[in-house]
Structure 1
Amino acid sequence: MTTPERPPPSPLPSPSPSPLAMERRTIDPIPEEERHGSPAGLFTLWFGASMQITAVVDGALAVVFGADALWAIPALLIGNVLGGVVMALHSAQGPRLGVPQMISSRAQFGVLGAVLPLVLVILMYMGFAATGSVLAGQAVRRILHLPDATLGIPLFGALTAVVAVAGYRLIHLAGRVATVTGIVGLGYLVVAVFTRYDVPAHVGVKPFDAATFLLAVSLGAGWQLTFGPYVADYSRYLPRSTSERATFRATFAGTVTGSVWAMSLGALIAAVAGDRFLSDQVGFVGELAGPAALGYVMYLVVLVGKVTANCLNAYGGFMSILTTVTAFDGRSRITPAARVAYITGFSAVATVIAMAASADFLDNFKNFILLLLTVFTPWSAINLVDYYLVSRERVDVPALYDPDGRYGRWNVPALSCYALGILAQVPFLATKLYTGPLTSRLGGADVSWIVGLAVTSAVYYPWARRTTTFDDDTADAPGASRERLPDAPQHAE
């Protein structure tokens, strides 16, 4: 009797790269064999990135500019939920396509046409990196006992660049660490606010005001909507079989829960502290923590949260710059040295801006957020309407890198819709630089982002439906650029 041969042992899986190892991929598609992770990682990344001092300041703005905390907190919740839905829908594209978010927008605007919103995206990342560095610099100054906050900004910029150069895995690790420190640190601060101040005496003291309520909604929505241009960058490594619903839920839960927690804390702090918080946001948080040792720990919590958030900006800025440059030269990969140069250069410019623009931080930050809403709500509307309602999640990924492919170089109608979406918001703006003629009729409320989403979607959808061809036989026909691809495999739940 012969003994049956045993099958040869299965090869051992290759070990996962260390989070400290430099990421190999940039804007090129992620092969299936390199996909890894689960949607749970998205929850910790976006919770950690949102549970931080800049979100606290964003929530405080609602009260600083006139809202009562009693009304500001539910308004911030509404804004975060509305904006979070849009943001998480972008995130769900990552596992399906395996490409960065702004590469996928070439399907709507054309390979060269996508450069227009990309330039604005790069400016957004630069602005957020600079404003975040202002707050982080305050924390570094106190940790190292530096004589001036601006001296802490370059140190923070260098730390951000190091993590961003390592890339995807280390950024996700930073998100997990920031989740733990954020829960402990900001959870302690919530308790401290209620034990050190008579909170009920400072809330519910102003009558309801629709304009400031809508301002708070806009601040919450703006926080979420501005994540849209890079959110899929951090889900693109997930296996293609990952459920879109699971990706959506993890992203939505992480970003909304973390943001609302931090913003609500900010609204309460602004209500009870007033001018003391306005003059030194990070310093006040350290004092609120209590004794010197606890204050020191709180500054570390601030720093960890800001490292996570600013790495998203540096990494996203690098990816966007690379997407812009390669639209003209056709590349999809670069050398490690070029990667270091791009990220270092971006971080250096953001550092210089932060050191020069730290005065009047709160007022500048509010106007910055509202201005970004004007620019990015039409982009989100076009991207989501096209992906989910027109092409129905079918994208020719190779054509995203080919100016002569089906998506072409310029999609003039889509760019026209984008410009129209921006112009439609102008009469409804309420910013320091400009107030629209219809804003006063709404009591000063800024509803421009709602108008931008609605108008852009209403104009783009019927046009795209009329011009999209569903016959795959015409995919290579001259002039054909937006044909629907064959159905992709269904996702596993």
Structure 2
Amino acid sequence: MSNQSTATGLASHVETRTIDMVPESERHGTSHSQMTLWFGANLQITAVVDGALAVVFGAEAMTAIIGLLIGNILGGIVMALHSAQGPRLGLPQMISSRVQFGVKGAALPLLLVILMYLGFAATGTVLSGQAINRMLGVDTPYVGILIFGGLTAFVAVVGYKLIHTVGRIATVIGILGFGYLAWQLFHQYDVATAFGQKPFTWATLLLSMALSAGWQMTFAPYVADYSRYLPSNTLVSSSFWNTFLGSTIGAQLAMTFGVLVAALGGNFLKNQVGFMGELAGPLAVLIYLVIVSGKLTVNCLNAYGGFMSILTTASGFNAKKQFSPTTRVVYIVGFVMLSMLVALMASADFLNNFKNFVLLLLAVFVPWSAVNLVDYYLVSKEKVDIPALYSAEGRYGAYNWVALGCYVMGVVIQIPFLNQAMYKGPIAVALHGADISWIVSLVVTSLVYYPLAKRSMKVPAQMIYPTPAAAPAAASRASELRTSLA
């Protein structure tokens, strides 16, 4: 009886919804939760690496910090505008793409998003696995990877509420941990010598902006997933500002730290986890905990968003809009296991190349954001036919060739302007390495898509919600989960 009570209690906290709309009766919380979630997801070791890359690519320290700040602000605005869609629609982020691209056409950006989730999950698992191994004092790589993968799967299966709780914990631990690391950095190094080592150039400023703007805009496919349970009367401004401030402040602090450690000549880029442990000295174990908690937050976002993107892609072709709790668990565990397999079997060189490939994929998210945001705020004006999102025969059809054409154009137009590890475009070379591809794509895609969408989109007169039958269906799914766990 005790075991049955425990299982029932656990089941009551496990999320049961997937890609269907969250009804008002299940909405809860305040937009303040967005600030801690995104602060915790950004104040982490990979953001430190992103900041360090600005110096590695030639920027002077102060130029890098200013450029990263501008990029975080500009990219953060785009990212936070997506967050504001969550309370209004009650839907995961990527299913809203069906409004613009069609029920089946949305599979194009979705497949690329899934690849991004997998790549970031694998590289994050490697770093966290190293930190866990150092905490435990073991040399076998798979030990830390398996432990971290298990933690990721557990948090993602329990779902929305626990993910936000992990974000709050990571925020507190991250502030304390990075505060201590900054104190140690200033005591062990002459930080003033980090500045003025190189002359200012516009190219390195723009490159720094691209690094941080790209960082922020990769969160665009995630962000409404974690605001969709907020009450529908949540102010757009409240959701926007809490998400924006959490994400930009967390990222800027981590990236600034990365700029300093790179400019001071440490071996951070060769051994990120080891360097932070050595810098921490006697509190190295606690800093490893900081690394794991920050990466756990963002890796849960990868697993959670990854499984929903897979379901969204599949459901576009089989017209399903609800999935059982068992299916939900299987997809999450399968995604995490795949990311662990990549982390375990890949060589270090492969992971670096794979990460560069994923960074190149950032080019595909800028035009997607442009199309999604222009439609939502300027064309549809927050009026969506939600039931039609689940049928290719409905208002939005199977494919919207206007949106798909603008999207492809927005990707292609970036090619001459790209300055990435895998490819340097001729215009970027002519601009001495300045990467303005994301700015060009954001502006051009928006300007081309807006007038075409105004003429072609079938916008409903008002928001159309599903029938109230969704609430009993949710109760049935929760009952099914309690029965299976018991």
Q: Does TM, scored on the shorter chain, surpass 0.5? A: yes
Query: Counterpart of 1:108 in structure 2: which amino acid?
Result: Q
**Aligned counterpart, 2:105:** 113
Q: Secondary structure at the match of 2:204?
A: helix
**Aligned counterpart, 1:229:** 221
**Aligned counterpart, 2:4:** none
How does 1:59-458 map onto structure 2 within 5 Å?
59-274=51-266, 276-291=267-282, 294-357=283-346, 359-360=348-349, 364=353, 367-368=356-357, 370-458=359-447
Seen in structure 2, the aligned counterparts of structure 1 residues 97 and 116 have a Cα distance that, compared at 3 Å, is same
Q: Secondary structure at the match of 1:290?
A: helix
- Asked if structure 2 preserves the Cα contact closer than 8 Å seen for 1:58 and 1:366, the reply is no
Aligned-pair CA distance for 1:432: 2.8
**Aligned counterpart, 1:7:** none
Pair 1:47 & 2:47 matched: no
TM-score (norm 1): 0.89
What do the CA deviations read for 1:379-426 (whole angstroms, capped 9, x no partner)?
000000000011111111111111111001110111011000000001
Aligned-pair CA distance for 1:27: 0.5
Query: Counterpart of 1:301 in structure 2: which amino acid?
Result: V
Provide the rounded CA distance (Å) in 1 between the counterparts of 2:72 and 2:351: 20
Query: Counterpart of 2:413 in structure 1: which amino acid?
Result: A
Q: Which runs of 5+ in 2 are unaligned?
A: 1-8, 466-486
Provide the rounded CA distance (Å) in 2 between the counterparts of 1:375 and 1:358: 26
Query: Counterpart of 1:374 in structure 2: which amino acid?
Result: A
Provide the rounded CA distance (Å) in 1 between the counterparts of 2:139 and 2:171: 30
Pair 1:486 & 2:485 matched: no
Aligned-pair CA distance for 1:151: 3.6
TM-score (norm 2): 0.91
Query: Counterpart of 2:460 in structure 1: which amino acid?
Result: R
**Aligned counterpart, 1:9:** none
How does 1:454-469 map onto structure 2 within 5 Å?
454-468=443-457
Seen in structure 2, the aligned counterparts of structure 1 residues 68 and 277 have a Cα distance that, compared at 3 Å, is same
**Aligned counterpart, 2:481:** none
Aligned-pair CA distance for 1:357: 3.7
Query: Counterpart of 1:202 in structure 2: which amino acid?
Result: A
Q: Secondary structure at the match of 1:438?
A: helix
Q: Secondary structure at the match of 1:343?
A: helix
Query: Counterpart of 2:270 in structure 1: which amino acid?
Result: S
Seen in structure 2, the aligned counterparts of structure 1 residues 363 and 342 have a Cα distance that, compared at 3 Å, is closer
Query: Counterpart of 2:325 in structure 1: which amino acid?
Result: P
Compare the two structures and name the one with the higher helix fraction: 2
Query: Counterpart of 1:46 in structure 2: which amino acid?
Result: W
- Asked if structure 2 preserves the Cα contact closer than 8 Å seen for 1:134 and 1:358, the reply is no
Pair 1:58 & 2:58 matched: no
Provide the rounded CA distance (Å) in 1 between the counterparts of 2:213 and 2:454: 28
- Asked if structure 1 preserves the Cα contact closer than 8 Å seen for 2:93 and 2:224, the reply is yes
- Asked if structure 2 preserves the Cα contact closer than 8 Å seen for 1:58 and 1:219, the reply is yes
Query: Counterpart of 1:171 in structure 2: which amino acid?
Result: I
Provide the rounded CA distance (Å) in 2 between the counterparts of 1:485 and 1:229: 27
Provide the rounded CA distance (Å) in 2 between the counterparts of 1:270 and 1:256: 21
What do the CA deviations read for 1:126-151 (whole angstroms, capped 9, x no partner)?
11101111211110110111214444
**Aligned counterpart, 1:471:** none
- Asked if structure 2 preserves the Cα contact closer than 8 Å seen for 1:219 and 1:370, the reply is no
- Asked if structure 2 preserves the Cα contact closer than 8 Å seen for 1:218 and 1:370, the reply is no
Seen in structure 2, the aligned counterparts of structure 1 residues 63 and 361 have a Cα distance that, compared at 3 Å, is farther
Seen in structure 2, the aligned counterparts of structure 1 residues 341 and 18 have a Cα distance that, compared at 3 Å, is closer
Provide the rounded CA distance (Å) in 2 between the counterparts of 1:48 and 1:431: 27
Provide the rounded CA distance (Å) in 2 between the counterparts of 1:18 and 1:206: 56
Query: Counterpart of 2:86 in structure 1: which amino acid?
Result: G
Percent identity, aligned pairs only, is 60
Provide the rounded CA distance (Å) in 2 between the counterparts of 1:155 and 1:259: 26
Aligned-pair CA distance for 1:433: 2.4
What do the CA deviations read for 1:204-251 (whole angstroms, capped 9, x no partner)?
211112222222111100111000012000000000000000000000
**Aligned counterpart, 1:476:** none
What do the CA deviations read for 1:366-386 (whole angstroms, capped 9, x no partner)?
734641321100000000000
Query: Counterpart of 2:360 in structure 1: which amino acid?
Result: L
Query: Counterpart of 2:259 in structure 1: which amino acid?
Result: A
Aligned-pair CA distance for 1:486: 2.3
- Asked if structure 1 preserves the Cα contact closer than 8 Å seen for 2:119 and 2:354, the reply is no
Aligned-pair CA distance for 1:68: 1.8
Provide the rounded CA distance (Å) in 1 between the counterparts of 2:153 and 2:412: 36
Q: Secondary structure at the match of 2:435?
A: coil
Aligned-pair CA distance for 1:449: 1.0
- Asked if structure 2 preserves the Cα contact closer than 8 Å seen for 1:154 and 1:351, the reply is yes
Aligned-pair CA distance for 1:157: 1.2
- Asked if structure 2 preserves the Cα contact closer than 8 Å seen for 1:395 and 1:485, the reply is no
**Aligned counterpart, 1:6:** none
RMSD after superposition: 1.8
- Asked if structure 2 preserves the Cα contact closer than 8 Å seen for 1:390 and 1:464, the reply is yes
What do the CA deviations read for 1:64-102 (whole angstroms, capped 9, x no partner)?
222121211111111110000000000000000000011
Seen in structure 2, the aligned counterparts of structure 1 residues 158 and 18 have a Cα distance that, compared at 3 Å, is closer
Seen in structure 2, the aligned counterparts of structure 1 residues 289 and 314 have a Cα distance that, compared at 3 Å, is same
- Asked if structure 2 preserves the Cα contact closer than 8 Å seen for 1:390 and 1:461, the reply is yes
Provide the rounded CA distance (Å) in 2 between the counterparts of 1:186 and 1:386: 39
Tell me which of 14, 19, 23 is aligned to 2:15: 23
- Asked if structure 1 preserves the Cα contact closer than 8 Å seen for 2:83 and 2:227, the reply is yes
Query: Counterpart of 2:254 in structure 1: which amino acid?
Result: A
Q: Which runs of 5+ in 1 are unaligned?
A: 1-16, 469-481
What do the CA deviations read for 1:331-387 (whole angstroms, capped 9, x no partner)?
122222211211111111111222344525896477346413211000000000000
- Asked if structure 2 preserves the Cα contact closer than 8 Å seen for 1:150 and 1:355, the reply is yes
Seen in structure 2, the aligned counterparts of structure 1 residues 368 and 150 have a Cα distance that, compared at 3 Å, is farther
Provide the rounded CA distance (Å) in 2 between the counterparts of 1:357 and 1:212: 32
Query: Counterpart of 2:68 in structure 1: which amino acid?
Result: L
Provide the rounded CA distance (Å) in 1 between the counterparts of 2:300 and 2:195: 35
Query: Counterpart of 2:247 in structure 1: which amino acid?
Result: T
